[in-house]
């Protein structure tokens, strides 16, 4: 379905027209009046996306964002599987009532009533997807990864509302609600940095609603609205460990079984791992290992290193580089091609096999177990995720590959700006926080910088 503008034929109203919902399905072929009569110029601005959500539509007295939200919800209802054409008019009135509180306003009069946070978030996401909203101070659309993050917080808010039996309005985004949300996520075992990420998105959306003049609540400005990030202990693989993983035989079911049986682990864990040793699992295990190794040698996020292929390789001054546009930041980075990455691409005819990120995080731990990396990671108990455990193999994640690249490069003496050019970190300060070095490793590296100053 779509919306159409039918110009008015009344004298003195030539610049106006009515908006109709045009429906063509197996059940119906009709047009239904929405009740909106607006200026033709405003309709053209809406269709061409040449407006801001906070701008007022003078002919009907509501904001473009509210108008877009009404049409989006009507469209969703009309395209639903159970849509009944006979209920079309009732659906339109119901949507308008929910969004505008049933009140069509005159110019300069704002719609009264309580706008729900979830409704604004829905329209905010749609505006981001269509390009009506863009990155702050820029004209480019946000990345798919950012949209994905917004959809995650949307689901989290809906779950919170369902379990607390409470609907959040835009005016409800106070410090009290902030404390309730943080407490809700803590009770469900979320780590501090996950909560920080969620509340950062909540603050962004609350700020957008405030700037659109849809609420006067500005508690999002409070210094404690977003909980502080906590330093989290994470591991990295040394070059020797990367080579050990690369040399691990995962080619057959028998090889994996033999490796498992030689491990000093409980019989229950052996049985649990052996039960996974199907042919398809073994193949996936090898795929995960190979893709993870590519990540360790390229320094990218899993969303990027898992899609590296032959077509991305270019030559500059006789040297091969991988040219990739990072999905999260849309930055273009050039990565020197390691011979082992070349070998992996050749193994899979120029394109790495597809593996789901969840499968990656699960099976890379199994690979660590097969390598016998069951020693205690030695980290502070308070800074560990209780769901992951204390063993080194249980700490492995798809992101460990990126962290390993950056840390190993820095330990080898590669300057931070050069590492940053490949990893795509926005600043050296951010990259420094990212490096996983213990106090002893930092001291050894710092010693190089003090040569000529300290006599040893």
Which residues, including other chains, have CB under 8 Å from residue 432's CB and lie 6 or more apart? 416
Other C-beta atoms lying within 10 Å of the C-beta of residue 271 = 10
H/E run at residue 364? helix 357-370
Tokens 């593996």 belong to residue = 355
Is the distance from CB of 58 to CB of 217 less than 8 angstroms?
Answer: no
Radius of gyration from C-alpha coordinates of the chain: 28
Nearest to 139 by CA among 204, 49, 202, 47: 49
How far CA 55 is from CA of 42, 63, 170, 214, 247, in Å, comes to: 11, 5, 18, 11, 61
Domains in the chain, ordered, with CATH? 1-111 (no CATH), 114-230 (1.10.150), 239-448 (1.10.443.10)
Other C-beta atoms lying within 10 Å of the C-beta of residue 311 = 9
**Per-residue model confidence (pLDDT) at position 442:** 60
**Per-residue model confidence (pLDDT) at position 133:** 82
Measured CA to CA, the distance from residue 194 to residue 44 in angstroms comes to 42
H/E run at residue 89? helix 88-100
**Per-residue model confidence (pLDDT) at position 25:** 74
Q: Residue 354, SS3? A: coil
**Per-residue model confidence (pLDDT) at position 246:** 97
| Residue 195 CA neighbour count, 13 Å, CB half | 22
Tokens 């009740």 belong to residue = 35
- Burial class from Cβ neighbours inside 10 Å (0-12, 13-18, 19+) for residue 432 reads middle
Measured CA to CA, the distance from residue 149 to residue 84 in angstroms comes to 34
Nearest to 178 by CA among 154, 150, 206: 206
The pair of structure tokens assigned to 258 is 């033999």
Other C-beta atoms lying within 10 Å of the C-beta of residue 307 = 15
Measured CA to CA, the distance from residue 394 to residue 387 in angstroms comes to 9
DSSP count for the chain of H helices, then E strands: 18, 8
**Per-residue model confidence (pLDDT) at position 202:** 96
> Model pTM greater than 0.85?
no
The C-alpha angle with vertex 37 and arms to 31 and 43, in degrees rounded to 5, equals 85
pLDDT along the chain (456 residues), means of 10: 86 85 81 90 84 81 87 88 85 85 41 74 89 72 84 95 92 94 92 90 94 91 90 82 96 87 85 68 87 97 95 94 91 95 96 90 92 80 54 92 93 90 88 70 61 61
How far CA 314 is from CA of 287, 294, 318, 351, in Å, comes to: 25, 17, 10, 15
**Per-residue model confidence (pLDDT) at position 249:** 93
Nearest to 365 by CA among 322, 397, 337, 341: 397
**Per-residue model confidence (pLDDT) at position 445:** 60
- 8-state DSSP, 252: S
Which residues, including other chains, have CB under 8 Å from residue 300's CB and lie 6 or more apart? 308, 324, 326, 333, 335, 402, 423, 424
Q: Give the distance, in angstroms, between the CA of residue 149 and the centroid of all CA atoms in the same chain.
A: 3
**Per-residue model confidence (pLDDT) at position 312:** 97
Measured CA to CA, the distance from residue 306 to residue 290 in angstroms comes to 10
- Burial class from Cβ neighbours inside 10 Å (0-12, 13-18, 19+) for residue 372 reads middle
């Amino acid at each position: 379905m779509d919306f159409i503008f039918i110009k008015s034929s009344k004298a003195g109203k030539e610049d106006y027209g009515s908006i109709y919902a045009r429906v063509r399905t197996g059940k119906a072929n009709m047009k239904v009046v929405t009740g909106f009569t607006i200026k033709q110029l405003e309709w053209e601005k809406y269709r061409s996306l040449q407006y801001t959500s906070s701008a007022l539509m003078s002919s009907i007295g509501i904001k473009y964002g509210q108008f877009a939200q009404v049409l989006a919800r009507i469209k969703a209802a009309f395209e639903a599987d159970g849509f009944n054409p006979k209920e079309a008019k009732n659906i339109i009135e119901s949507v308008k009532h929910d969004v505008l509180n049933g009140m069509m306003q005159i110019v300069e009069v704002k719609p009264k009533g309580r706008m729900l946070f979830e409704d604004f978030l829905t329209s905010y996401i749609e505006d981001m997807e269509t390009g009506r909203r863009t990155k702050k101070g820029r004209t480019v659309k946000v990345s798919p990864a950012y949209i994905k993050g917004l959809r995650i917080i949307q689901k989290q808010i809906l779950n919170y509302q369902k379990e607390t039996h409470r609907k959040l309005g835009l005016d409800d985004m106070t410090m009290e609600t902030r404390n309730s949300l943080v407490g809700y996520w803590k009770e469900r075992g979320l780590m501090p940095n996950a909560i920080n990420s969620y509340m950062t998105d909540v603050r962004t959306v609350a700020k957008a609603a405030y700037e659109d003049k849809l609420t006067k609540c500005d508690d999002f400005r409070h210094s404690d609205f977003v909980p502080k990030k906590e330093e989290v202990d994470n591991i990295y693989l040394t070059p020797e460990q990367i080579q050990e993983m690369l040399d691990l035989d995962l080619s057959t079911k028998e090889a994996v079984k033999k490796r498992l049986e030689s491990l000093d682990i409980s019989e229950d864990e052996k049985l649990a791992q052996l039960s996974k040793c199907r042919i398809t699992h073994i193949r996936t295990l090898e795929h995960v290992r190979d893709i993870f190794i590519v990540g360790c040698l390229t320094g990218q996020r899993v969303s990027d290193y898992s899609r590296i292929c032959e077509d991305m390789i270019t030559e500059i001054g006789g040297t091969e580089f991988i040219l990739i546009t990072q999905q999260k930041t849309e930055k273009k980075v050039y990565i020197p091609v390691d011979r082992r990455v070349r070998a992996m691409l050749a193994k899979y005819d120029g394109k790495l096999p597809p593996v789901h990120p969840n499968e990656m995080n699960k099976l890379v731990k199994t690979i660590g177990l097969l390598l016998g990396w069951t020693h205690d990671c030695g980290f502070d108990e308070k800074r560990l995720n209780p769901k992951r455990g204390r063993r080194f193999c249980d700490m492995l994640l798809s992101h460990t590959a990126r962290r390993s690249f950056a840390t190993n490069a820095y330990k080898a003496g590669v300057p931070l700006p050069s590492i940053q050019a490949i990893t795509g970190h926005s600043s050296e300060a951010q990259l420094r926080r990212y490096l996983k070095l213990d106090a002893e490793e930092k001291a050894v590296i710092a010693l190089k910088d003090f040569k000529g100053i300290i006599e040893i």
